[in-house]
Amino acid sequence: MFALHGTALGGGIVIGRARVLEAQGLDAKRYRIEIPEIDAELKRLDMALFQVRESFEKLRTQLPVDMPSEANAMLEVHGMILDDPMMIEGAKRLIADERWNAEWAFADQAEQLAAQFDALDDEYMRERSRDIRQVAGRVLKSLKLQLSAPGNDPQLALDNDLGDAAIVVAPDISPADMLNLKSALGFVIDLGGTTSHTAILARSMGVPSIVGLGKASDLIDDDDWLILDGDAGIVLVAPDEAVLGQYRERQQEQQLEQQKLRRLIHIPSRTLDGIDVKLMANIELPSEAAQAREAGAQGIGLFRSEFLFLNRTDLPGEEEQFEAYREALQGMHGFEVTIRTLDVGADKTLPDAATHVAPNPALGQRAIRFCLAQPEMFLEQLRALLRASPYGSLRILIPMLAHQHEIDQTLKMVERAKEQLRERGEKFVEDVPIGGMVEVPAAALSIGLFARRLDFLSIGTNDLVQYTLAIDRGDAQVAHLYDPFHPAVLELVAMTIRGGQKQGKSVSVCGEMAGDPAATRLLLGMGLTEFSMHPVSLLKVKREILLSDVSLLSARVQRLLGSDDPIKVESALRRLRESA
């Protein structure tokens, strides 16, 4: 028996046999075709694109009614990639002008597009390269099947059903393939992180899953017995009977725990000493609002608007954005929806944007810096947001603020957008709250200024940790140094909460720390009363809240914050978590 460790996506414990899938890379044979063969080769590519498109559509129409909304959304995103003119037209030019075969031409263009995303600093944006490679791999598979099995049903040819229930082990797997693998007990995946579409879908489906395992598909043999602990991020390979027995008992205990958690959905989120705590959800697509409501969310604390701008060669217009924002607002039935303005870097990720590639994108023109440098694009998004405001309770959140002049310029842009709408006779809510994300130490250290100028604050702990500790957790060589409980990080979080409270402004945490039950009592003791997280974490955090007494936690947390010794802080945190 041996153990493998990766990034946990939840779902609990599952025990079963391994089914190892082959890698589906972008390797393709490269050869020249003759001039008379060009038309036939172009038709082969068109047919492959058609077959994959049809497979997506057929899969979408066959989704069960209880399938989470993310499933349809991911298929839509992959459909957008499939229609990317830059990738498709580039491949066709290589076929027609350079006389390369369809497989190599398409693989070359797909890899070039994916490489642009690989170069980005932002983890969420980097993960989009996997989406591109997953879709391209499906096209290459279709091209291969045209030659080896002509006339086959494209959906059947592209499916990967397992037959018997098993734990799927793969170098990578696309959302479409994940949906096709109906009998999968769980997923063990070499690549990826928590922001990949595969990870998002796996969490929403509640399937035990682990990503980022490295070489699991090489180390695990087909038909090996596996114990997959999706909460701990551990895979035990070829366990003995004693270990199997232990985990079967733990599996039953977890199933009972899940049943108990579901009873908490309609119970008010209130501490033992009567403090109401607002639990909200983070979403990426408008359709996810329904899932958030079903999980008991009291609003949307973070709606990432980037999804509208990704994997396309044209910028979304004002009307398209308006429709998406309106859908999210209407989907929450009056609950508050906080929509973050575009948060990308300046690395050619968007069409018509600056072509300058920053030497260090993390410290370059990203988020609000990028938006202020693209005023027409920013105004278009602000107008779309304001137009959607009458359809619900909207808050607009500005990412990566660090300077007062950025706040001032942003507020002027909001006023300009309002004036443009007034001139057009468009309706909007005049007093839409404008908030700022605290993601860099400078913002936390200047929190008094930020709290005075803005209507609310939201702490993005993921970036705050990375910028405070100078750690890119996407870099495997230093990821082990990423520590959200580092004393310096905790002091910045506490400082922000205190600063907001002093000015009477609401403060929420929308980073991963908000969804970590191990951090719930710590944040409550700091005075936090608004949490925003992935919907699957809501009930576990709510349970911690229901068992907490803030009047007792506050003094203990203040003592904890008074120490700069990491060992003492870790010990105090452990005692805090264990307290009833």
CA distance 48 to 158: 11
By CB atoms closer than 10 A (0-12, 13-18, 19+), residue 416 is middle
Residue for token pair 């590639």: 357
CA nearest neighbour of 301 among 152, 513, 555: 513
Q: What is the DSSP-derived secondary structure letter of residue 505? A: -
- Angle (CA) 280-282-285 rounded to 5° is 130
One of 78, 197, 486, 534 is an active-site residue; which one?
197
One of 78, 486, 510, 534 is an active-site residue; which one?
510
Residue for token pair 């970590």: 516
CA nearest neighbour of 384 among 420, 348, 334, 337: 420
CA distance 229 to 514: 22
Rounded to the nearest 10°, the torsion over CA 305, 308, 309, 314 is -150
CA atoms within a 13 Å half-sphere pointing along the CA-CB vector of 125: 27
The SS3 call for residue 124 is helix
Give the number of other CB atoms < 10 A from CB of residue 189. 27
Which tokens sit at 575? 């005692």
Q: Is 405 a catalytic residue?
A: no
By CB atoms closer than 10 A (0-12, 13-18, 19+), residue 448 is middle
Element holding 556 (H helix, E strand): helix 550-561
**Angle between helices 550-561 and 566-578 in degrees, nearest 10:** 170
55-64 contacts: CB < 8 A, separation 24 or more?
55/138, 55/154, 55/155, 55/158, 55/159, 55/176, 56/82, 56/176, 58/155, 59/155, 59/176, 59/179, 59/180, 63/179
By CB atoms closer than 10 A (0-12, 13-18, 19+), residue 29 is exposed
DSSP lists the bridge partners of residue 234 as 5, 229
- 424 Cβ neighbours under 8 A, 6+ residues apart: none
Q: What is the DSSP-derived secondary structure letter of residue 511? A: S
CA distance 257 to 24: 37
Asked whether the beta carbons of 178 and 198 are under 8 A apart, the reply is: yes
DSSP lists the bridge partners of residue 459 as 438, 509
Q: Is 486 a catalytic residue?
A: no
Say which amino acid occupies 157.
A
Q: What is the DSSP-derived secondary structure letter of residue 431? A: T
Active site residues: 197, 510
